[in-house]
């Protein structure tokens, strides 16, 4: 680690390196212990360079974007955390939007609507970055990333660059070939391209505002990581949780949202362990009451071996 840090300082990253930075400052949940070291990057070249240097020096490296859809352990993250703020958006040819992986998905959606291109308007209120959306096949209101993605520019852990076509990412509901890989083997998304089609300005604006209004009515305003569980084949997760009488149920500072049962909110001072314990209780109650297994949509990240909860290979929280 010392040699790695010295190398980063020699390359000019020194003034931007933060030691023991609380990751609660970098997640939508407002939860997460310290990163050993953290640096914010705003260019794809720096993002790739840091990822490759970390591999060269055998230092664990985690890349996060807006910090949505993740629960970081109270013990934090060992090694280097890279906050991806590479936010460029362009349209190099008509109908093809290319965005860097740190660009906010909702900003890319609004950028396209403002220029009367149709295809991403469903995402105008969806949190998270392009990179996370590509990995998790983000979606809402009948649309998803897989519908429009042309290619994703990937950096593999061994340093190999690849422009992967949509089909190669093997998309499924809120998942992809990338998400199904262990985090240590998962390629890093650098950029992504989306094929859009010409739209009507007034209709696109009307549709976008309608989606945003629905989201405001149905989405809790408190801090959260978004939807906690994927829907089952038969039912939305929130419906099953609500039928178990768990709306408003609270452990520590973590609460099942009284507005939408598939959101766990941070009422103030919630720990990652509070959330993990609540997740485990929800899964247990839904299994006992409905015979349904709830699969996590959010990811557990960090030093969970030091905590009272862990995640098994199927993504189930266990005490």
Looking at the fold, whether 245 and 204 belong to one and the same domain comes out as no
Max Cα–Cα distance, the chain, nearest Å = 58
Number of domains the chain contains: 3
How do residues 19-42 score in pLDDT, each as one tens digit?
Answer: 999 999 999 999 999 999 999 999
307 band by pLDDT with thresholds 50, 70 and 90: low
Question: What are the tens digits of pLDDT across the range 171-190?
Answer: 999 999 999 998 889 999 99
| Same domain membership, residue 71 and residue 95 | no
**Known active-site residue 114:** no
Domain check: are 59 and 143 in the same one?
A: no
169 & 135 share domain:
yes
Is residue 299 annotated as part of the catalytic site, yes or no? no
Check whether residue 202 and residue 234 sit in a common domain.
no
Name the strand (E) or helix (H) holding 84: strand 77-84
Backbone phi, psi, residue 58, to 5°? 55, 40
Given 218, 235, 265, the domain boundary residue is: 218
CATH of the domain at 131: 3.30.465.10
Q: Do residues 202 and 231 both lie within one domain? A: no
Quick one: 266 and 295 in the same domain? yes
Q: Which of 33, 61, 84 is the last residue of a domain?
A: 84
pLDDT tens digits for range 117-166? 999 999 999 999 999 999 999 999 999 999 999 999 999 999 999 999 99
Decide: 108 and 126 in contact? Cβ < 8 Å: no
Same domain, residue pair 233 and 271: yes
Same domain, 177 and 242: no
Same domain, 10 and 73: yes
CATH code, domain carrying 75: 3.30.43.10
Phi and psi angles of residue 5, each rounded to the nearest 5 degrees, phi first:
-65, -40
Residue 66 among the catalytic residues: no
pTM, 2 dp? 0.91
The 10 Å CB-count burial string (b at 16+, else e) for 113-150 is beeebbbbbbbbbbbbbbbbbbbbbbbebebbbbbbbb
Q: Tell whether 79 and 189 lie within a shared domain.
A: no
Task: Please identify, among 30, 57, 84, the residue that sits at the C-terminal boundary of a domain.
Answer: 84
Could you tell me how far CA 80 lies from the centroid of its own chain? 18
Give me the catalytic one of 85, 106, 174, 207.
174
Residue-number span of the structural domain to which 290 is assigned: 223-318
Of 24, 227, 257, 271, the catalytic one is 227
Write out pLDDT tens, residues 193-211.
999 999 999 999 999 999 9
Residues 57 and 147 in one domain: no
């Amino acid at each position: 680690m010392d040699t790695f840090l010295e190398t980063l300082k020699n390359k000019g990253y020194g003034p931007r390196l933060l030691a023991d930075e609380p990751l609660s400052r970098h997640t939508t949940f407002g939860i997460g212990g310290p990163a050993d070291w953290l640096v914010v990057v705003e260019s794809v070249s720096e993002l790739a360079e840091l990822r490759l240097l970390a591999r060269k020096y055998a230092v664990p490296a985690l890349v996060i974007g807006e910090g949505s859809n993740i629960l970081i352990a109270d013990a934090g993250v060992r090694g280097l955390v890279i906050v991806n703020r590479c936010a460029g958006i362009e349209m190099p040819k008509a109908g093809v939007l290319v965005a860097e992986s740190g660009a906010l998905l909702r900003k890319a959606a609004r950028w396209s609507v403002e220029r009367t291109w149709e295809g991403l308007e469903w995402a105008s209120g969806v949190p998270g970055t392009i990179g996370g959306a590509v990995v998790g096949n983000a979606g809402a209101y009948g649309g998803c990333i897989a519908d429009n993605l042309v290619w994703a520019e990937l950096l593999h852990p061994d340093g190999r660059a690849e422009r992967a076509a949509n089909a190669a990412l093997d998309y499924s509901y809120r998942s992809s070939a990338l998400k199904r890989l262990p985090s240590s083997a998962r390629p890093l998304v650098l950029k992504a391209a989306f094929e859009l089609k010409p739209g009507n300005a007034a209709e696109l604006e009307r549709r976008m505002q309608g989606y945003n209004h629905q989201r405001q009515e149905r989405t809790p305003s408190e801090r959260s990581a978004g939807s906690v569980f994927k829907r089952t084949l038969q039912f939305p997760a929130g419906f099953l949780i609500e039928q178990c009488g768990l709306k408003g149920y609270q452990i520590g500072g973590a609460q099942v949202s009284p507005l939408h049962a598939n959101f766990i909110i941070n009422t103030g001072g919630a720990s990652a362990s509070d959330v993990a314990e609540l997740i485990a209780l929800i899964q247990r109650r839904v299994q006992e009451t409905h015979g349904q297994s709830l699969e996590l949509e959010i990811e557990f990240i960090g030093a969970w071996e030091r905590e009272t909860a862990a995640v098994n290979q199927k993504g189930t929280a266990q005490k």
